[in-house]
Amino acid sequence: MVGLVIVSHSASLARGIKELASQMAPKVPMAAVGGTSDGRLGTDANLIKQAIEQLAHCNGVLVLMDLGSAVLSTETALEYMPLEIEDKVQLADGPVVEGAVAAAVESSLGKPLAAVKAAAEAAAALKKL
C-alpha cells in the first residue's frame, strides 16, 4: 500500500486533512506534518523527513503539499534522505484536500504509486458545482 504524507503550513490543517482522508481509507498509512518545530506557521524539512521515513516501509510514499514553500521544504527533506527511501517518494502537484482523499482511496485499492499520484493530481479537475 502507498503511504501518504500531508504537508501544510498549519499543523491543525494537516491533521484535519489526514482525518478526512483517513475516514475514506482508514487502512492507508498516513502522516500529517504541519508548522515548524516550535509550533509556528510554516514548514520544517526535518519534520517532513521524519514523516517520510516513518512510511518508508510502504510501497511508495506520496507527498501532498499546500503551498509553494512546502514544496521547497519537502525537496530539501529529500536531499537528506537515504537514496533507497528517496527513490520511493513522489510529490503530487494537486489540491491537497481533494488530492489526499483521492490518493487515499486509490492506495486503499492497492494501486501502485504512479496511479495514486495520478488520482491526487486529477483531483484538480473535479467540479464542485
Query: Of 2, 9, 25, 55, which is the active-site residue?
Result: 9
Q: Where are the beta strands (DSSP E) in 25-129?
A: 30-34, 61-65, 89-92
d(CA 81, CA 102): 26
With H, G, I as helix, E, B as strand and everything else as coil, classify residue 129: coil
CA nearest 124: which of 91, 105, 102? 102
> Is 57 a catalytic site residue?
no
* Run of H or E residues at 4: strand 3-8
Question: Is the CB of residue 103 less than 8 Å from the CB of residue 17?
Answer: no
Provide the annotated active-site residues.
9
